[in-house]
Amino acid sequence: MDKLSALAVFESLSSGVRLDIYRLLVKVGPEGLVAGEISSTLAVPPTNLSFHLKALTNAQLLSVVQEGRFQRYRANLTLMHDLIAYLTEECCAGHPEQCADICPPLSCQTAPAIPTPA
């Protein structure tokens, strides 16, 4: 991940509604939700929701798949793990193992390992 990509993610999540959408989709996991389920769960009007889903999709935080008349949205967890790795790659001067006591491990087991310098 580079600085511009990280900025795009942060910009997209700077809306409280978009942050709520992303967190909801992380919570439900790989099955995701269709737009109507997101709308009813978060009490966001469909027209407003559409705007936010488009912003999150454009930032690649969400993936979307057409299922008949519906669109199913899923959180892009890989992108979030990449962002976390980008933010912490210089942890403890490039030696993240030194920060083990102050940096809790990610709760998801699919997080990429942060390379340490040889």
Residue 85's CATH number:
1.10.10.10
The pTM for the full model equals: 0.79
* Helix residue spans in the chain (DSSP H): 3-12, 16-28, 35-42, 46-58, 77-88
Q: Is residue 116 part of a domain?
A: no
Residue range of the domain that includes 99: 1-109
| pLDDT beneath 70: ranges in the chain | 94, 96, 103-118
- HSE (CB half, 13 Å, CA atoms) of 90? 1
Distance between CA atoms of 73 and 95, rounded to whole angstroms? 36
Q: What is the pLDDT of residue 111?
A: 41
Torsion of the alpha carbons at 1, 100, 116 and 6, rounded to the nearest 10: 10
Q: Is residue 117 part of a domain?
A: no
Q: Is residue 20 part of a domain?
A: yes
Q: Is residue 118 part of a domain?
A: no
